[in-house]
Amino acid sequence: MTDTKQHAPPGWLVLLLAVSCGLTVANLYYAQPLLAELRGTFGVGEAAAGGVVTATQIGYAAGMLLLVPLGDRLENRGLVATLLAVASAGLVVTGVAPGFAVLLIASLLVGATSVVVQILIPFAADLSPDDIRGRIVGRVVSGLLFGILLSRVVASLLAEVTSWRVVFLISAAAMAALAAVLRFALPRRAPKTDVRYGQLIRSTLAMWRKHPALRHRALYQSAMFGAFSAFWTTIAFVLTAPPFNYSQLGVGLFALAGAAGAAVAPLAGRWSDHGHGRRLTAGAFVLCAAAFALAGFGAHSVVLLAIAAIAVDMAVQTTLVTGQHVIYQLDPAARARVNSVYLGTFFVGGAIGSQAGSIAFHLGGWPAVVVFAGALPLLGLAGMTRTRV
């Protein structure tokens, strides 16, 4: 009798997927600690500079809805390689941008094509047996989260010793190399549907109506990611101003504090496998709100700000992994499309959080950011009391 049991993917492949996700998602966050540098180069204000982060996240959300569904339609290796090649070209334009408008357009393109991450995560889910799927996805997502957090450190260090432009040019080279590696290293993943592109997009949008759990989890994470983006988009303004007066290097070293929160992702995946996802989500909402309350007292204490950063990142990572555990069980034949709705929705929340956080900082300083961002997880918690997911 043939053994049809699905086996766990090899460790080297899980590691490759985690590293690939980390390197690619970093493209969305390099600009966050560099906003003060961008203001000086292009002569724009705080709210306008924050628009670079917003543009990247809007591009990412658009890519989630328009490009990620192709993960169910096309062979994934070629699709991933193509998107990474285009991302590399967009990063070159970002690095040599002669004006702020060009920088914004290039940021949109880079954001849209960096959705490779959200093709690779469902790829990992498909490769994993049901009983350890949360654990494997958690490991891959931990690579993504380390990429988010360490991107700020790398960007700050490179900008300190060279220039902010070098950050994006180095990433362009990394994307080109990654395109070649993944094209030959990934196993073949057959398309799951042969419907035309227009029908594919319509079926993606239909997932929102079809699966209430997807809607709820996407909105929860939208609130959390809005808070996360507001914090990390504006913290550079806080740290480079009195009483801290940090250099780019100092901002980068502060970002290391947030990296400690990434360790929770595999644990969240494991606990979700054991049925504790809902309680974890509620706890993460409370932790995030408490972190912003602490951050409000940390305007003159880098230690309190660092503790708040770790707590915010832990909370957001927990809700991300528990949410993905829920949605990946909804429709195994359409995981890329389900994931595109989930991620697209919460990156819209992130874009709103980035821009609203920048505006709040411009109008009311750090206290206004703390009040705005701290309210978002409380909204998520209130919504959760009315659902079962």
Q: Which of the pair, 133 or 19, is modelled with greater confidence?
A: 19
Share of the chain above pLDDT 90, in %: 49
pTM given for the model: 0.79
The full set of domains in the chain, from first to last, is: 8-194 (1.20.1250.20), 198-388 (1.20.1250.20)
How long is the chain? Answer: 389
CA 56 to chain centre: 11
What is the reported pLDDT for 2? 44
List helix spans (H) across the chain.
Answer: 11-25, 35-42, 46-66, 76-96, 100-113, 117-127, 133-161, 164-185, 197-210, 212-239, 248-259, 264-273, 277-296, 302-327, 335-384
Contact 56, 107 (CB under 8 A): yes
CA distance 221 to 323: 8
With bands split at pLDDT 50, 70 and 90, how would you rate the model's confidence at 5? low
Examine the pLDDT at 262 and tell me if it is beyond 70.
no
pLDDT digits (tens, 9 = 90+) for 236-254: 889 988 999 998 788 888 8
**What pLDDT is stored for residue 265 in this prediction?**
65
What is the structure's pLDDT at 189? 75
User: Is it the case that residue 382 has pLDDT exceeding 90?
Assistant: yes
- 62-114 per-position pLDDT tens digit: 998 889 888 888 888 999 999 999 999 999 999 999 999 999 999 999 999 99
Indicate the pLDDT class of residue 1, thresholds 50, 70 and 90: very low
Most confident of 226-230, 267-271, 327-331: 226-230
- Cα 215 → chain centroid: 18
What is the DSSP track for 150-211?
HHHHHHHHHHHHS-HHHHHHHHHHHHHHHHHHHHHHSPP---S----HHHHHHHHHHHHHH-
SS3 97: coil
pLDDT band at 167 (very low <50, low <70, confident <90, very high): very high
pLDDT at 3: 47
Among 129-143, 202-216, 230-244, 350-364, the minimum mean pLDDT is found in: 129-143
Percent of the chain surpassing pLDDT 70: 97
* pLDDT of 227: 97
pLDDT tens digit sequence for 316-366: 989 988 998 899 889 887 877 888 888 888 888 988 998 899 999 999 999
* Average predicted confidence (pLDDT) for the chain: 88
State the Cα angle at 260 between 254 and 263, rounded to 5°. Answer: 160
| pLDDT surpasses 90 at 180 | yes
CA distance 343 to 217: 10
Contacts within 8 Å (CB) and 24+ apart, 301-306: 302/239, 302/244, 302/254, 305/235, 305/238, 305/254, 306/254, 306/257
- Which phi and psi angles does 328 have, rounded to 5°? -70, -10
- By the 8 A CB rule, do 62 and 139 touch? no
Segment 294-322, tens digit of pLDDT: 999 988 899 999 999 999 988 998 998 89
Contact 118, 67 (CB under 8 A): no
pLDDT of residue 275: 79
Pairwise pLDDT comparison (211 vs 387), residue with the higher score:
211
pLDDT of 188 over the 70 cut: yes
Structure letter (DSSP) for residue 10: P
